Amino acid sequence: MKSIFLRMVAAAMFLFLGACLGGREEFWFESNGSGRLEAEYEIPAFAIASLGGEVKLRKLIGDFFAQEPGVYLDDFAVESKGGQAVLKLRARFDSVLQLSKLIEHSKEKTGAESLPKPMLKLFGDVKVKRAGLSVDFHRRIDPSQVFAGGLLSPSQDQMKGYKLEYIMHLPTKATQSNAHQVQDDGHTLIWSYALADAMKQPAETNFVTPIPIPLWAWFTPTIALLPIWWLWKRKRKAQRLSHNAVNTGAGT
């Protein structure tokens, strides 16, 4: 109950200050499943103070990324922009599955082990699974949850000009997606949601893409067949020698 009350107070302050929020995330995925991301979130400057100040926020972000092995925070910065604070983040991950686990597991934790709920809501719900020889990626972001579940939503005028943008660079061409724009022959997917629209209907970034086969995998069948080929050659040679020996004996 106390948590809900605090979220409502924070949301009320957002509205009182006439501030809003926006975000831009860009991911680069490699053929081995690893990748990196750059994210930028624009939030009311008051929100930084409500989280304990910039020093505490830096520690929260650092501790958050340190929870999952294989996920690394490279840089985190806070910049001022009028009455807004711009959070800039750069990170890497050995596997997109590890990044997904980090977000999902953090929602089950409380206190110092997790980020404040409004920030987790900006990350959304992420589901990554293997579907045959493809990767099925689903993500759902509901910004209304930042504003006490939509009970204290900003006005249309306050949300004007703010948007949530997501960009995915894939190593293989996507076979399915709900992207608003597709570039680079299906390797780059872009979603751009006006905040006002995302407040009514949560933003979703979904795609299916083939799992890249590493170069060495193409040679694996050949390598596996080498012993068989060697045994076959050896047997053929023995058969020829035996056949020649028989012919020589018959000639004498």
How do the domains of the chain map onto residue ranges?
2-210, 219-252
User: In this structure, how many other beta carbons lie within 10 angstroms of the beta carbon of residue 29?
Assistant: 22
Cα–Cα separations (whole angstroms), residue 133 to 25, 32, 170, 241: 27, 14, 15, 48
Distance CA 36, CA 90 (A): 8
User: In this structure, how many other beta carbons lie within 10 angstroms of the beta carbon of residue 247?
Assistant: 9
Distance CA 201, CA 141 (A): 9
Position of tokens 């949300």? 159
For the chain, the average pLDDT equals 77
Distance CA 160, CA 182 (A): 25
Q: What is the dihedral of CA 149, 155, 158, 163, to 10 degrees?
A: 50
Mean pLDDT on 81-87: 83
- What's residue 215's pLDDT? 40
- What's residue 205's pLDDT? 96
Longest alpha-carbon distance in the chain: 113
Distance CA 108, CA 115 (A): 11
Question: pLDDT grade, residue 80 (50/70/90)?
Answer: confident
- What's residue 153's pLDDT? 64
Q: For residue 37, is pLDDT > 70?
A: yes
Mean pLDDT on 158-164: 86
- Strands of the sheet with 163-169, listed across from one edge: 71-81, 84-93, 35-44, 22-29, 163-169, 188-194, 181-183
Q: For residue 119, is pLDDT > 60?
A: yes
Mean pLDDT on 206-230: 60
- What's residue 31's pLDDT? 87
Strands 181-183 and 134-141: unpaired
- What's residue 220's pLDDT? 44
Q: For residue 17, is pLDDT > 50?
A: no
Question: pLDDT grade, residue 150 (50/70/90)?
Answer: very low
- What's residue 102's pLDDT? 81
- What's residue 40's pLDDT? 94
Overall pTM surpassing 0.75 (yes/no): no
- What's residue 113's pLDDT? 53
Q: For residue 221, is pLDDT > 70?
A: no
Question: pLDDT grade, residue 122 (50/70/90)?
Answer: confident
Q: For residue 162, is pLDDT > 60?
A: yes
Distance CA 166, CA 164 (A): 7
Question: pLDDT grade, residue 226 (50/70/90)?
Answer: low
- What's residue 10's pLDDT? 46
Q: For residue 234, is pLDDT > 50?
A: yes
Strands 188-194 and 181-183: antiparallel
Which residue pairs, CB below 8 angstroms and at least 24 apart, start in 96-99? 96/29, 96/33, 96/35, 96/128, 96/135, 96/137, 97/33, 97/128, 98/68, 98/69, 98/70, 98/71, 99/68, 99/71, 99/126
- What's residue 100's pLDDT? 81
Cα–Cα separations (whole angstroms), residue 63 to 111, 149, 155: 12, 26, 34
